Amino acid sequence: MKRYSAFAVAREGLRYHSGWDRAWRAAAPKRHYDVIIVGAGGHGLATAYYLGKNFGITNVAVIEKGWLGGGNTGRNTTIIRSNYLQDPSAAIYEKARSLYEGLSQDFNYNVMFSPRGVIMLAQTEHEVRGYKRTAHANALQGVATEWIEPARVKELVPIINLDGPRYPVLGGLWQERGGTARHDAVAWGYARACSDMGMDIIQQCEVTGVRTENGRVIGVETTKGAIDCDKLGMVVAGNCSVLSQMAGFRLPVESVALQALVSEPIKPCMDVVVMANTVHGYMSQSDKGEMVIGGGTDGYNNYTQRGSFHHIEETVRALVETFPMVSRLKMLRQWGGIVDVTGDRSPLISKTPVQNCFVNAGWGTGGFKAIPGSGWAMAELMATGHSPLAEAFSMTRFKEGRFIDESVAAGVAH
Amino acid sequence: MLILECPYCGVHAEETELQAGGEAHLKRFGPGSSDEAFHDYLFLRENPRGVHLERWRHVNGCGKWFHAARCTQTLEVFGTYRAQTSAPPQDIRDKITAKRPGWTWREFEG
């Protein structure tokens, strides 16, 4: 693999950019791999990457039914933060955030990580108390966050309206080291690095069956033929129930649509990420100048990657009060992704009832920020059978009553 | 936008008038049942890509609970039926079978 550098850009500039390689190889499936990861989104590719990087396992295939990074990895609002209340969440999201800081150097690929700061607005008395509590919890967990008063919020976000009649801004939880990254580049960077380690990334190859023998996984059936493996990782977000059914077990998740939209590009007006959980809305400005807006999930099961318009309407209506200037913006695009939501709104990184078959799912509405940490923990679990970061996220936690209850702690936007 | 016909008041209600209530025909397990059954009842829900039976409430209307048969892959609605039943009635099953021959959902099939 040719390294990217300022020198390489200059060299290629002199020869009409004719010398660039493909970022990753188009691979045809082999008969057998040590590890097959189903799902070439951020979490799947990160799992493969850390299997290779941390454990030297490189006979790996990443199988994708669509195109690489075309699911939720390419559909989210790219927010990265780790200001969670519960210890296991704070640990894995903070691991992810800290890995994001060095990701571009790790890959030699610019993921455009921008630690511009994230504010979660408190717009009710309950949120004020909740976020103060989270700030204290974060101090104990070693996550740098602070409670800030409305005047400081206004300083950070000049376009905000502090005293709206319905949703006044009473303060906020500020994480200075949070921010955004370019979602596609995260997937592409991982893919390029995996391919460089000799892993096969096989796109447009749908898994149609999971083969097991004596309660142990031995391979998968795909639209490109049968492939054998020693270990299987299912990392397919919204479709995890469908895949787990093929292997003969059920997951405690439901799949629903989550939507986002972007406006026309405008001049820089907001250089932090603002989340307003009371009204299910969050907004940031992309490097192109578009205002990127995320909303709430639909209430019913859905696999169509499009959501209900009235949720967009509710989100925008609330944001117009908090950010009066957005009322004049035209929206350019709107889209949906299918998120897999668990009962406690925390993910599953877990062994399964089928031996050597592992699952990484249930990230619900907040998976992008976790990609490096999730891949790190999943790789450790798959390689060694045990991961301290993943331990609390086992799918047996529901039976044991050990919920990681972020549905109460983090609210909805997550 | 999803539109369901309320089987009680006959209104064709769009989804802002309705509230989704999750999986239909749940069997409840409580004290005295096995851990396994209790866990499944509390945490495991049908999450099919395809035919799905679920509960809805006509919350901004007559206020009554009813059932809907719907496809989660296409958002097609096969029909709605009253809540006072523990299984989808035959006419609803026939409507699903007409569009999705060979369908199954939990213990039910066409």
**Per-residue pLDDT tens for A331-351?**
999 999 999 999 999 999 999
CA dihedral angle for residue A398, residue A401, residue A404, residue A407, rounded to 10 degrees: 80
| Minimal-distance CA residue of chain A relative to B39 | A399
Q: Who wins on pLDDT, A1 or B108?
A: B108
Instruction: Inform me whether the C-beta atom of residue A398 falls under 8 Å from chain B C-beta atoms.
Output: yes
For B35, the closest of A250, A304, A399 (CB atoms) is A399
Distance (Å) from the C-alpha of residue A302 to the closest C-alpha of chain B? 5
Predicted local distance difference test score (pLDDT) of residue A408: 58
Selecting from A251, A252, A301 the residue whose C-beta is nearest the C-beta of B72 gives A301
Q: What is the pLDDT of residue A296?
A: 85
The neighbour count for residue A151, using CB atoms within 10 Å, is 9
Above 60 in pLDDT, residue B56?
A: yes
Contact between A235 and A47 under an 8 Å Cβ cutoff? The reply is: yes
Q: Are B105 and B48 in contact (CB under 8 A)?
A: yes
Q: Which of B58, B67, B62 is nearest to B93 (CA)?
A: B67
> In this structure, what CATH number is given to the domain that contains residue B40?
3.30.2270.10
Contact B39 A399 (CB under 8 A): yes
Q: Which pair of structure tokens corresponds to residue A212?
A: 């097991």
* Domain residue limits at B47: 3-109
Number of domains in chain B: 1
On chain B, the residues whose CB falls within 8 A of the CB of A253 are 47
* Six token digits for residue B36: 């396994």
| A342-397 tens-digit pLDDT | 999 999 999 999 999 999 999 999 899 999 999 999 999 999 999 999 999 999 99
Whole-angstrom Cα distance, residue A351 to residue A359?
Answer: 6
Long-range contacts of A3-6 (CB under 8 A, 24+ apart): A3/A108, A4/A108, A4/A109, A4/A110, A5/A108
pLDDT tier, B38 (very low <50, low <70, confident <90, very high otherwise): very high
pLDDT classification of A110: cutoffs 50, 70, 90: very high
Side chain identity at residue B58, one-letter code: H
A2 touches A20 (CB < 8 A): yes
Q: Which residues contact A235 (CB under 8 A, 6 or more apart)?
A: A37, A38, A39, A41, A43, A44, A47, A359, A360, A361, A378
A241 to chain B, any CB pair closer than 8 A? The answer is yes
Are B49 and A242 in contact (CB < 8 Å)? yes
- The CA angle B82-B46-A386, to the nearest 5 degrees, is 160
CB-CB under 8 Å, B74 with A252: no
What string of H, E and C letters represents the secondary structure of B46-100? CCCCCEEEEEEECCCCCCCEEEEEEECCCCCEEEEEECCCCCCCHHHHHHHHHHC
Q: What pLDDT was estimated at residue A413?
A: 47
Write the CB contacts of A302 (distance below 8 Å, at least 6 apart in sequence): A255, A256, A257, A338, B72, B75
Chain B residue numbers with beta carbons less than 8 Å from the beta carbon of A251 are 44, 47
* Percent of chain A residues topping a pLDDT of 70: 98
On average, the pLDDT of chain A sits at 94
* Tens digit of each residue's pLDDT (9 = 90 or more) over B59-110: 999 999 999 999 999 999 999 999 999 999 999 999 999 999 999 999 999 8
- The answer on pLDDT for A414 being more than 70 is no
Backbone dihedral region of A411: left (phi > 0), alpha (psi from -120 to 50 degrees) or beta? left
pLDDT of A412 above 80 = no
Q: Do A302 and B75 touch (CB under 8 A)?
A: yes
ipTM of the complex: 0.95
Predicted confidence (pLDDT) per residue in A122-170, tens digit: 999 999 999 999 999 999 999 999 999 999 999 999 999 999 899 999 9
Torsion sign, CA atoms A182, A188, A190, A193: negative
The whole-number pLDDT of residue A409 equals 52
pLDDT score recorded for residue A158: 97
Give me the pLDDT at residue A278, please: 83
User: HEC profile for A362-381?
Assistant: CCCCCCHHHHHHHHHHHHHH
CA geometry: angle A20, A46, A192, nearest 5 deg:
10
Residues 6+ apart with CB under 8 A from A318: A166, A167, A276, A279, A280, A281
Nearest by CB: A301 against B1, B39, B52: B52
Chain A within 8 Å of B52 (Cβ-Cβ)? yes
Q: Using the beta-carbon criterion (under 8 Å), do A310 and B16 form an inter-chain contact? A: yes
Task: For residue B50, give the chain A residue with the closest CA.
Answer: A303
Residue-range domains of chain A with CATH: 27-78+183-251+344-409 (3.50.50.60), 113-178+254-342 (3.30.9.10)
Structure tokens at A119: 């504010």
Report in angstroms the alpha-carbon separations of A189 from A3, A7, A113, B79: 12, 19, 12, 47
B45: nearest CB among A254, A303, A304: A254
